[in-house]
Chain A
Amino acid sequence: MKKRIAAFLLAVLLLAPTVVFAASISYGSRGDDVKKVQQALKKWGYYKGAVDGIFGSGTLAAVKSFQRKNGLKVDGIVGPQTAAAMGITLGGSGGSSSGSSTGDVYLLARIIYGEARGEPYIGQVAIGAVVLNRVKSASFPNTIAGVIYQRGAFDAVSDGQINLAPDATAVRAARDALNGWDPTHGCLFYYNPRTATSRWMLSRPVLLRIGNHAFC
């Protein structure tokens, strides 16, 4: 666990210098990407031929008809946009590697939505930042799930609101927080001054207020 966070801190800083440009496949292409495209097209009834990994005339016709139906540029080439519309990713060794980080974004979005929907956008990012500040603090669990599900840490967990599906704003706030935006300048707690009862909490110096929340 400690190792993960330590590696994470360094990994945040040491990131690769270049970008893989989006792969695209077209008439004459062969390989696993072609198979993925054929499978997707077959599933939706655009393609009737064999899933053989060879981009031939049957595949070309199917891609064009898919593009026409989905309002894409009808060029018969499966680039990033067409692939995205098909729900597949081209290139690489298969898409499961990003699973954990996507999961973190979604879990963080859930707690943000459960705790702070209706708050200003920066206030939603701030909730995400408090969770991440706790992950980095020695006094709290060292994973996002550990912090969120710690007993009594968040009302939205106790009353089940964390299980609501987050909206797009909460997902964006989660991503901004994970990318490093911390409007709270390192705060570990927040509360609603109108409803808070914990004397310990109320005795802490408040660093800033956003919407209905005081951060400390």
Chain B
Amino acid sequence: MSMFGFRISPSSTIDLDKVDRNRFKKLCALEPDASKCMACGSCSATCSASEFSGMSVRKVLLCLQQGREKEAYAMMSSCMLCGKCLMVCPRGINTRHLILSISRIYGKEESI
């Protein structure tokens, strides 16, 4: 690889046809608010943990939609459940409850 002084970067393409979306569907059934998010980022802007850990409810939802479950779950483990995101969400999503539901559904699976 180093013979040329550069290398091929792994592709960031996400093939949604190959993503298992069953758990996300389960989440939407349990927590219909999950599909209300418009990714405005207010939650990320107010998050106390975000600056230190990269936690963001917006990103967590995006990762779950794209099947990047490990990444989403690791990010969420920094959440302190302070509820600031709940107060600023313009769509009125109960983010704290959403996070608990995510841990309930995704935390059970050993595979992730």
The answer on A and B forming one complex is no
Binding site for A on B (CB under 8 A): none
